[in-house]
């Protein structure tokens, strides 16, 4: 039979080894840093909702919105292979490849059943969503 002190030490050791922290996030590449803290307007494909925009924040929040849709707050993270992982909700996570320059970027989303490429340009100010036909 194990004594109380030995049992307590075994319990502490088991808890300590089972509570290992997650690995640190991958460091951001220079192209990923270009994505941060800018409002990116979607310029293509033509079928995207009017005024579609993305904002990548350094804390891993991605704001997705448009002139005609409710905004969405998603999570994004950088991967060691140079891709991004975007998590919109518990059931919707996908990867994206990207090419980014100072004022333009191209994201290619690997969605469940298709690839979707989106061209982006840094939004210019001032910008107001146009009135919609009624």
Nearest-angstrom CA–CA distance, 79 and 25: 8
Predicted local confidence at residue 54, as pLDDT: 96
The separation between the first and the last C-alpha atoms of the chain, rounded to the nearest angstrom, is 80
Predicted local confidence at residue 21, as pLDDT: 55
Residues pairing with 117 in the sheet: 108
Contact criterion met (CB below 8 Å) for 73 and 92: no
Domain residue extents for the chain = 30-122
Looking at domain 30-122, its CATH class is mainly beta
pTM for this model (two decimals): 0.75
Predicted local confidence at residue 9, as pLDDT: 40
Predicted local confidence at residue 62, as pLDDT: 97
Cα dihedral 17/18/20/26 (nearest 10) = 130
Q: What's the pLDDT tens digit per position in 56-110? A: 999 999 999 999 999 999 999 999 888 999 999 989 999 999 998 889 999 999 9
């Amino acid at each position: 039979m194990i004594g109380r002190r030995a049992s307590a030490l075994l319990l502490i050791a088991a808890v300590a080894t089972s509570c290992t922290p997650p690995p640190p996030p991958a460091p951001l590449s220079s192209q990923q840093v270009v994505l941060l803290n800018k409002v990116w307007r979607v310029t293509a494909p033509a079928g995207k909702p009017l005024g579609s925009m993305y904002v990548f924040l350094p804390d891993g929040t991605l704001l997705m919105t448009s002139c005609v849709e409710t905004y969405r707050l998603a999570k994004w993270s950088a991967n060691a292979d140079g891709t991004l992982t975007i998590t919109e909700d518990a059931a919707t996570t996908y990867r994206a490849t990207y090419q980014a320059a100072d004022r333009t970027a191209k994201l290619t989303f690997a969605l469940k059943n298709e690839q979707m490429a989106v061209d982006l340009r840094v939004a210019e100010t001032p910008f107001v969503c146009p009135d919609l036909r009624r």
